[in-house]
Amino acid sequence: MSSISPISLIVSITFFFSLLLCSSSAQTVVKASYWFPESEFPVTDINSTLFTHLFCAFADLNSQTNQVTISSTNQPKFSTFTQTVQRKNPSVKTLLSIGGGIANKTAFASMASNPTSRKSFIDSSIRLARSNGFHGLDLDWEYQSSATEMRNFGTLLSDWRSAVVAEANSTGMPRLLLAAAVFYSNNYYSVLYPVLAVAASLDWINLMAYDFYGPGWSRVTGPPAALYDPSNAGNYNKRTKPNKLAHSYYAATTGAAISPDGSIGYGQIRKFIVDNGATTVYNSTVVGDYCYAGTTWIGYDDNQSIVTKVRYAKQRGLLGYFSWHVGADDNSGLSRAGSSSYHRHKRGILRRWDDRFKMSFKVTTLRTNYKSRRNT
């Protein structure tokens, strides 16, 4: 770390889970994670026995044709994903995830705005899922930013559900699962999610209750994926927008272990702790870990945070949890900690969907943001 010693580093890892389910789902538990090829984590190395569902990310939306596509680079890995992960766990289910944080959100908004383009999206997504052996589809549109976009999102989901039901009916195959990754609150900066359409159409949603602090958007350090916010009665729904925060600022650093978005994996953090004799602290008030050595400060989730969050999810009657992302774990340690602390729960304990939707919680720690900070 000597090359960066003049400035402090901040790493936030958010390997979270969250999940919500819809009462229509026959699913009793979801223990899931995302995998993506850029992580360079071999699919064969995923210990799929620790999961019920795995998301393969990402397929793309073609903004000209409104069809879902898999890039030629990703095609070989995506088309064998299901059979590969099912070798260790024949009952694991896979979902093809569409979009992602860097996808063109204007294209999603445009596609969802009229029936013809919605149909192109839906029909191509179903074809792609079937031809590549996936059991379901996941939409990661970040984010719908107006009331109109939210309404169209709801219509898209309803159309999608009808289409997968009809397809299953006509092919005799099990219906494709439908999921979506959504903001951690049903209120996206004053724009409300179409919760009824979401509940009626999807098997579950993945709440992205992380990235609360990160070097790319925060000006102070803080827990990246806290379960509780003592300043706001237990949730982050009213968190100040990053540009309202002050006191210190970040400057990006680079290094072999740091990805372009400024994140590093949990395995790298373990190595940092060992190599630098870093002090590790579990903060039970927020439920999050951090470590520091010299001028470096890293926020992340370790076993204890994950176990606490997974138990929270179970106690609140949530369907399960997910993490972003499986390739950032360290010998499956966090995935094992999460999996062993969430056992099947009884059905019939579901609360009102939108109550659950408002809960922000996350569990794992896999996304990290590794940046430097200088005090002002």
Indicate which residues carry an active-site annotation: 142
Supply the minimum distance, in Å, between the C-beta of residue 303 and ligand NAG.
4
Residues contacting residue 101 through CB under 8 Å, at least 6 positions apart: 140, 142
Give the strand pairing for 8-14 and 367-375.
Answer: antiparallel
Q: Which helix (H) or strand (E) holds 86?
A: helix 75-88
Tell me which residues touch ligand NAG (CB under 6 A): 47, 49-50, 63, 104, 106-107, 110, 165-166, 169, 230, 281, 283, 285-286, 302-303, 333, 336-337
Closest to ligand NAG by CB, 50 vs 150, is 50
Supply the minimum distance, in Å, between the C-beta of residue 187 and ligand NAG.
23
Collapse the DSSP code of 205 into the 3-class scheme (helix H, G, I; strand E, B; otherwise coil) and give the result. Answer: strand
Please report the DSSP string for 98-152 in residue order.
EE-TTS-HHHHHHHHTSHHHHHHHHHHHHHHHHHTT-SEEEEE-----SHHHHHH
Cα 241 to chain centroid distance, Å, stands at: 20
Closest to ligand NAG by CB, 66 vs 132, is 66
Closest to ligand NAG by CB, 107 vs 126, is 107
Supply the minimum distance, in Å, between the C-beta of residue 3 and ligand NAG.
26
Supply the minimum distance, in Å, between the C-beta of residue 143 and ligand NAG.
15
Closest to ligand NAG by CB, 130 vs 192, is 130
Residues contacting residue 154 through CB under 8 Å, at least 6 positions apart: 194, 196, 197, 198
Please tell me the distance from the alpha carbon of residue 25 to that of residue 265, in angstroms, as a whole number.
33
